[in-house]
């Protein structure tokens, strides 16, 4: 970060003085929301990697990793400080640490300004050092930290030594199932000092290396070293060329690898790489599954904006749910630095003529529009200079609209000036390259027929904040005596009644992701919120400005007899339509007829990104329109007009945002919208889970700059993404993936017994996510009682028709008698996979990885996989139509669902033929008609274990309804709800 640069060059004396004070500890007041400050001793641990405090009920969990700190602010800047009475604390004694994925704040007050300055300086120095690291240095540091923390946690009595019993307990925690005799033997070999019977940290490192000796890597080294225990530079070059498919490998390059990774000075002198050095090299970023060249921008950035997927955020300011969570300007800083390039700002009239940002008709907190713009201006181009789109949802009066325009011009200045941008063609959008350093305001424009002299005019009023139909809103009239607690109690009661009423609608399919599921999640979230924040129940606290809480209403069932809800009064023509006649999706999407006043100053700031209503989709072809859809409406268009939608997206931008019923801030599946060329698929960045993992993987490629080039087939011409063979003239890719082994796989994060639980029985599942014809998954057998170094040595094969948009998802599961528990995942774009022997590090886990060998082949003609899909796409259209209707599914018993879940994990005793380490399994392409389970989901049929057929789809993804995965598995995997079925 730019503001950390000055801290990199602090004098050694000043650094050591700060570190000494911080490690000794300082008593500070920790502010908490709605409670009195708590006096705690805060200190930096001896490794300078964690901030800790005591006393704490959290015990070992009372810590903040320096790596997780986003920023440190001086003074009384945070929301919690603002809630305190003015003058209570000296601002020079106050500072705030923002950390974690959800920008949690730790608000601290020292006894004097000097202590605050020491901590701010020390923390920023540590953050600056981390920001300057390359990937290799970071991996080494995190590995060293992991080893040290593992040792300290195993040292139960805190004497700095591990005895044999503590070591046995550590083996169980690390999921190592070795005979006690073997552990004792390695223990004695590592115990070389005079203090026999215990291991120091240095001896523990030796013990850990012995325990971690990789049989798979040792055999690999022997095969390229003529059965010696080391590789020469020439042998290493041969390995890199043959196995890793690297070009231009020179002797100097190999000698540099030896210098970097070899630990033995004797081997370094001989210019050879031993097993420890080879292991370090193979576990380094150079041998990661993700192409290191894709960490930088490598795609053509000179094409029109509509040719790119653009990383987009929904309700960017929110830190949690859509009803009660806090709004923070810092969320814009976080998502922008994560690579997001389109952020949303919901603007409402605020007090004293100052527009505010919050989620309308809810109890989310408000922040000043000015603060939001200043934050965006500061952080928009720190990581990259490609353009940022500011999606303005305008609910303000004309007077405050003018204030919005003034702030935009005064703060962004020349970043808004697009007069010099060269589009090359008046009928095409400019490129990301030509817009570097620019901010595009997405909003309404005054109609051209008004003329340039009109100061204001009427424009249509459609926006995501007011997406819920008028007939589906609460009517809560707050008076001056209403408290927040009363409002929240009212919401909770409404949700309870909604839950009961919606049970009738959802009776046919209890597992479907409908309004009931969303409301249930929100109901649980409200209870959790009120439990965690008891201060909101204070009866004496008045609710200021809560009169907007008039929307979120009673959900009314939509039957075939009731006409679709409209957004305005111009709906007579719709009411006159015969019930049997289904209106086209595009005409149905354009019924909003509300209007609002828009001022000229704000209108003039909108260039290239003019928000238009759905009825204007078939306009005269003018450039620069952005069509916004909620996921509900976009789903209809994707299903019924996929090819036309793709053609539209070749010239204009489309934004898809989550349904307003996702009040728990869950996310929809972005794949169907990417598959039809939608550029701005907006997700709730504050909600972790499967969908955000897919989004993160999608945009990590191309330097994580927020712009990823769409496949050329989507930019010109058209095809049906739902077809059984969408691109018959194009060669397909075959992914041959050998899953070899796993390393340091932890127990599931929600394991019932924590570290004391049983040693895991892991298996690996690999999922291809892309066009419907490509969506499939396969899995290895289960390895019993070994999470430390399980060996699978199994080959999975997949055929991919459009690799440009496909994602490859690696998942590790722990098998148990009634199903499986999620251990970890890593998702990578197909185009970023690199061939050869690669480690797949699981996201968010320090040491956990799986070791694979990747081969990618070009294949032409129809594959056997495609023939197997024929029945799914063409054989029985009636069956497909009925499957798309969730109400056609029969209700499943609990026993059925348990059986489904159990069937999804491979049997523990399943025997598989294992091939030699360097042999690839010969794939026998045997296919059979897909078997359909009672729930309508396609599963692979039983097959020979000696010959694995090419992969078959397991679901009806992108066909009709989007079927949910098993609920328990999805919940365990990322706490993510399944996608909506309409």
Q: Helix 484-505 and helix 515-532: axis angle, to 10°?
A: 150
Residue 657, beta-bridge partner list: 630
Give the pTM.
0.75
First to last CA, the chain: 44
pLDDT value at residue 10: 82
The predicted structure's pLDDT at residue 3: 63
- Give the torsion through C-alpha atoms of 741, 745, 751, 753, to 10 deg: 110
Backbone phi, then psi, for 791, in 5-degree steps?
A: -115, 125
Helix (H) / strand (E) element for 13: namely helix 12-24
Cβ pair 343, 392 in contact under 8 A: no
Q: Is 477 a catalytic residue?
A: no
- Count the neighbouring beta carbons within 10 Å of the beta carbon of residue 768: 23
Cα(534)–Cα(528) distance, integer angstroms: 10
Is 533 considered catalytic here? no
| DSSP one-letter string for 152-201 | HHH-TT-SS-EEHHHHHHHHHHTT----HHHHHHHHHHH--SSSTTEE-H
Which of helix, strand or coil describes residue 722?
Answer: coil
For 233-287, give the DSSP string.
HHHHHHHHHHTS--SS--HHHHHHHHHHH---HHHHHHTEEEHHHHHHHHTSGGG
Residue with tokens 């009709």: 960
Q: Which of 99, 102, 314, 635 is catalytic?
A: 314
E strands present in 804-954: 807-816, 819-829, 836-841, 849-859, 931-932, 938-939
Collect all residues with Cβ–Cβ distance below 8 Å to 669 and sequence separation of at least 6: 691, 694, 962, 979
Residue 49: closest CA among 118, 136, 152: 152
Distance between CA atoms of residues 976 and 694, nearest Å: 12
* Alpha carbon distance 255, 813 (integer Å): 39
Looking up tokens 């069937």 gives 903
Residue 28 in tokens: 């500070």
**Contact at 8 Å (CB) between 553 and 472?**
yes
Buried b (16+ CB within 10 A) or exposed e, 108-134: bbbeeeebbbbbbbbbbbbbbbeeeee
Model pLDDT for residues 853-891, shown as the tens digit of each residue: 999 999 876 544 433 333 333 333 333 333 333 333 333
CA angle 731, 737, 739 (to 5 degrees): 170
Integer CA distances (angstroms), 743 to 171, 351, 603, 848, in order: 14, 57, 57, 6
- Cβ neighbours, 10 Å, residue 561: 6
Residue 298 is classified by DSSP as -
Below-50 pLDDT ranges, the chain = 1-2, 464-466, 468-480, 502-516, 535-592, 616, 618-620, 863-905, 909-982
Q: Which residues contact 951 (CB under 8 A, 6 or more apart)?
A: 768, 776, 777, 778, 796, 797, 798, 799, 865
Where do runs of H (alpha helix) occur along 553-630?
A: 572-575, 585-588, 600-603
Q: How many whole angstroms separate alpha carbon 912 and alpha carbon 797?
A: 16
Catalytic residue among 358, 379, 395, 801: 358
Closest CA to 708 of 389, 311, 302: 311
How does DSSP assign 874-903, residue by residue? II-HHHHHHHT-GGGSPPPPHHHHHHHHHH
Give me the residue label for tokens 């890199």: 240
């Amino acid at each position: 970060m730019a503001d950390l640069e000055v801290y990199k060059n602090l004098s050694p004396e000043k650094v050591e003085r700060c570190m000494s004070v911080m490690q000794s500890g300082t008593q500070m007041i920790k502010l908490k929301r709605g409670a009195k400050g708590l006096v705690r001793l805060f200190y930096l641990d001896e490794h300078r990697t964690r901030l800790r405090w005591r006393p704490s009920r959290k015990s070992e969990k009372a810590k903040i990793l320096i790596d997780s700190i986003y920023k440190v602010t001086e003074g009384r800047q945070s929301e919690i400080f603002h809630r305190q009475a003015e003058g209570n604390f000296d601002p020079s004694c106050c500072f705030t640490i923002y950390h974690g994925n959800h920008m949690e704040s730790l608000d601290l007050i020292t006894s004097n300004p000097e202590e605050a300055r020491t901590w701010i300086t020390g923390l920023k120095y540590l953050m600056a050092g981390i920001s300057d690291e390359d990937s290799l240095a970071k991996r080494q540091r995190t590995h060293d930290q992991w080893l040290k923390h593992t040792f300290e946690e195993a040292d139960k009595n805190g004497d700095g030594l591990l005895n044999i019993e503590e070591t046995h307990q550590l083996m169980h925690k690390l999921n190592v199932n070795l005979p006690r005799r073997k552990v004792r033997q390695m223990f004695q070999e590592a115990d070389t000092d005079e203090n026999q019977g215990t291991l120091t940290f240095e001896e523990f490192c030796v013990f850990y290396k012995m325990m971690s000796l990789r049989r798979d890597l040792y055999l690999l080294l022997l095969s390229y070293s003529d059965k010696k225990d080391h590789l020469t530079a020439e042998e290493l070059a041969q390995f890199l060329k043959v196995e890793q498919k690297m070009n231009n490998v020179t002797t100097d390059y190999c000698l540099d690898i030896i210098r970097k990774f070899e630990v033995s000075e004797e081997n370094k002198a001989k210019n050879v790489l031993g097993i420890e050095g080879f292991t370090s090299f193979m576990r380094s970023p150079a041998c990661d599954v993700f192409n290191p060249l894709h960490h930088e921008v490598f795609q053509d950035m000179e094409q029109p904006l509509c040719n790119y997927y653009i990383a987009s955020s929904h309700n960017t300011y929110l830190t949690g749910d859509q009803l009660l969570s806090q709004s923070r300007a810092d969320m814009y800083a976080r998502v922008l630095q994560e690579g997001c390039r389109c952020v949303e700002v919901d603007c409402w009239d605020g007090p004293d003529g100052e527009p505010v940002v919050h989620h309308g008709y809810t109890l989310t907190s408000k922040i000043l529009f000015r603060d939001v713009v200043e934050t965006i201006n500061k952080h928009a181009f720190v990581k990259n200079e490609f353009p940022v789109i500011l999606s303005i949802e305008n609910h303000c009066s004309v007077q405050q609209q003018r204030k919005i325009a003034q702030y935009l011009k005064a703060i962004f200045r020349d970043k808004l000036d697009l007069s010099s941008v060269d589009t090359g063609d008046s009928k095409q959008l400019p490129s990301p390259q030509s817009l570097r350093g620019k901010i595009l305001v997405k909003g309404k424009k005054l109609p051209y027929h008004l003329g340039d002299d009109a100061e204001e005019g009427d424009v249509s009023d459609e926006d995501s904040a007011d997406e819920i139909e008028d007939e589906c809103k609460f009517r809560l009239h707050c008076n001056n005596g209403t408290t927040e607690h009363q409002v929240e109690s009212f919401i909770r009661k409404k949700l309870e009644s909604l839950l009961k009423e919606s049970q009738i609608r959802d009776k046919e399919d209890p597992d479907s992701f409908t309004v009931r599921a969303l409301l249930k999640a929100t109901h649980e979230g409200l209870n959790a919120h009120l439990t965690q924040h008891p201060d909101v129940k204070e009866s004496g606290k008045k609710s200021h400005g809560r009169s907007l809480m008039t929307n979120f209403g009673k959900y009314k069932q939509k039957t075939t007899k009731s006409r679709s809800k409209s957004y305005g009064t111009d709906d007579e023509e719709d009411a006159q339509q015969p019930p049997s006649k289904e209106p086209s999706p595009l005409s149905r999407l354009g019924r909003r007829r509300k209007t609002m006043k828009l001022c000229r100053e704000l209108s003039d700031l909108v260039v290239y990104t003019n928000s238009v209503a759905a009825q204007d989709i078939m306009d005269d072809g003018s450039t620069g329109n952005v069509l916004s859809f909620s996921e509900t409406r976009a789903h209809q268009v994707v299903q019924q007009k996929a090819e036309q939608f793709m053609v539209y997206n070749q010239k204009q931008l489309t934004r898809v945002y989550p349904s307003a019923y996702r009040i728990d801030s869950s996310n929809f599946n972005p794949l169907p919208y990417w598959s039809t060329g939608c550029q701005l698929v907006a997700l709730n960045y504050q909600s972790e889970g499967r969908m955000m993992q897919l989004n993160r993987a999608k945009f990590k490629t191309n330097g994580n700059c927020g712009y990823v080039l769409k496949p050329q087939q989507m930019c010109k011409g058209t095809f049906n993404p739902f077809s059984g063979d969408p691109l018959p003239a194009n060669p397909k890719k075959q992914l041959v993936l050998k899953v070899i082994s796993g390393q340091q796989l932890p127990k599931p994060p929600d394991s019932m017994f924590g570290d004391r639980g049983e040693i895991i029985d892991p298996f690996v599942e690999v999922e291809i996510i892309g066009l419907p014809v490509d969506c499939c998954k396969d899995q290895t057998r289960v390895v019993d009682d070994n999470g430390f170094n399980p060996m699978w040595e199994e080959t999975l094969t997949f055929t991919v028709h459009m690799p440009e948009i496909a994602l490859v998802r690696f998942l590790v599961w722990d098998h148990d008698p009634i199903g499986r528990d999620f251990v970890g995942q890593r998702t990578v774009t197909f185009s970023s996979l690199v061939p050869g022997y690669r480690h797949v590090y699981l996201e968010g886990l320090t040491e956990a990885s799986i070791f694979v060998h990747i081969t990618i082949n070009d294949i032409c003609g129809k594959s056997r996989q495609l023939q197997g899909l024929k029945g799914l796409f063409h054989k029985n259209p009636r069956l497909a139509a009925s499957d798309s209707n969730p109400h056609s599914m029969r209700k499943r018993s609990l026993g059925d669902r348990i059986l489904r879940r159990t069937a999804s994990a491979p049997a523990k005793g399943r025997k598989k033929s294992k091939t030699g380490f360097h042999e690839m399994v010969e794939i026998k392409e045997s296919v059979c008609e897909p078997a359909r389970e009672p729930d309508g989901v396609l599963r692979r049929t039983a097959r020979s274990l000696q010959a694995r057929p090419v992969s078959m789809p397991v679901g009806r993804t992108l066909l009709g309804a989007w079927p949910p995965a098993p609920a328990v598995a999805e919940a365990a995997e990322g706490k993510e709800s399944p996608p909506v079925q309409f």
